[in-house]
Amino acid sequence: MSNLLEVRNLSKVFTSPGGPFRKARAMHAVNDVSFDLPKGRVIGVVGESGCGKSTLARLILRLIEPSSGTLRFDGDDLLAKTSAEMRKLRADMQMVFQDPYSAIDPRYTVARAVMEPFDVQGREHAGTRESVIAELLEMVGMNAGLAGSFPHQISGGQKQRVGIARALALRPSLLVLDEPTASLDVSVQAQIISLLEQLRDDLGLTYLFISHDLSLVRYFCDEIMVMYLGRVVEALPDTEQPARHPYTKTLMDSTFAPTPNQRRVITPLEGEVPSPFDLPPGCAFVDRCPHATAICTSETPVLSARGGHAVACHNPL
């Protein structure tokens, strides 16, 4: 299986400017992340709020520029592309957001929203505008009669279907799904997940699926990357693997749900996430880790693999 996406040592540092009473500070929102996404696979990226999931997504689509690292998409060096080349390439790599309508003018009808990618890219489409709109709406399980509706006239689930139709309009091969169901009711969440599964099969799509919800990621994805404060701390080659990183174990223990429509109780992790600006020396998880030993406070563990299962921990389980 060839790789659609290859990410190597990708980092993003945000700096906060200093002032008369404050030093300038740097924060590694994404820190030395490497992975391959083979064509047709679904990799889930999971972690608590602020761990860098959305920043990783935006870096991959080059919506923001990395501080260092390399990105290859279908064999091409993405970072060597000019902005005009990137604009064309973006047709092939699309993003679905948690709130699809945050990026769409509220005065747009459903029809205009799903056709906007053609207008922005100046692309021709096969068939009449009406037939393309009908086809896109059908693809996401929406009645063509809703084409003339405005966002306030349709439900949250329908809005997300419009967001997915928009993302599919130019027939991408990669979809980056950033918490696509997080703002939806549980039953609607399950419908959107099954739509995404069906689209993956029908269109041969490759997904990077970002979520804070490990049970959903385990249900939906082929592989899982667990992020903690900008770093990948564990990469599981399949969803049945037991956790080897104590952080992943805690996330797994605090959730249960064999399917997305059987909801779960989430027990919050104990202890504070350290400030991303003042990372302690050693492992960033040390203050919350029941297995920490002296080395964990002094040496940052590197991600190392055993049988395709990688973990960054001095005392893996």
Residue 55 or 160: which CB sits closer to ligand ATP?
55
Q: What are the phi and psi torsion angles at 266 (to 5°)?
A: -105, 120
Q: Which is nearer to ligand ATP, 61 or 142 (CB)?
A: 61
Taking CA atoms, 199 is separated from 42, 166, 175, 315, in Å, by 12, 13, 11, 40
Question: In the bound complex, what is the minimum distance in angstroms from residue 275's beta carbon to ligand ATP?
Answer: 9
Residue numbers at the binding site for ligand ATP (CB under 6 A) = 14, 29, 47, 49-55, 212, 276
Nearest of 55, 60, 129 to residue 90 by alpha carbon: 60
HSE of 259 in the Cβ direction (CA atoms, 13 Å)?
8
CA 9 to chain CA centroid, Å, is 17
Structure tokens at 93: 């790599």
82/102 with CB nearer ligand ATP: 102
**Sequential DSSP letters for 198-233:** HHHHHHT-EEEEEES-HHHHHHH-SEEEEEETTEEE
- Tell me how far apart the alpha carbons of residues 210 and 111 are, in angstroms, rounded to a whole number: 27
* Smallest separation, CB 287 to ligand ATP (Å): 17
CB closer to ligand ATP, 26 vs 186? 26
Least CB distance to ligand ATP at residue 212 (A): 6
Question: For the residues of 49-109, what is the DSSP string, one character each?
Answer: TTSSHHHHHHHHTTSS--SEEEEEETTEEGGG--HHHHHHHGGGEEEE-SSGGGGS-TT--
How far is 89 from 157, CA to CA, in rounded Å? Answer: 28
Q: Closest separation between CB of residue 45 and ligand ATP, Å?
A: 9
Smallest separation (angstroms) from ligand ATP to the CB of 135: 33
Q: What sections of 204-275 are H helices per DSSP? A: 214-220, 246-253
123 by DSSP, 3-state: which? coil
Q: Smallest distance, Å, CB 222 to ligand ATP?
A: 21
Residue 71's DSSP bridge partners are: 7
Q: Residue 30 Cβ, how far from ligand ATP at the closest point, in Å?
A: 7
* Minimum separation from the CB atom of position 26 to ligand ATP (A): 10
Identity of the residue, 63 or 146, whose beta carbon is nearer to ligand ATP in the bound complex:
63
Q: What type of residue is 121?
A: Q
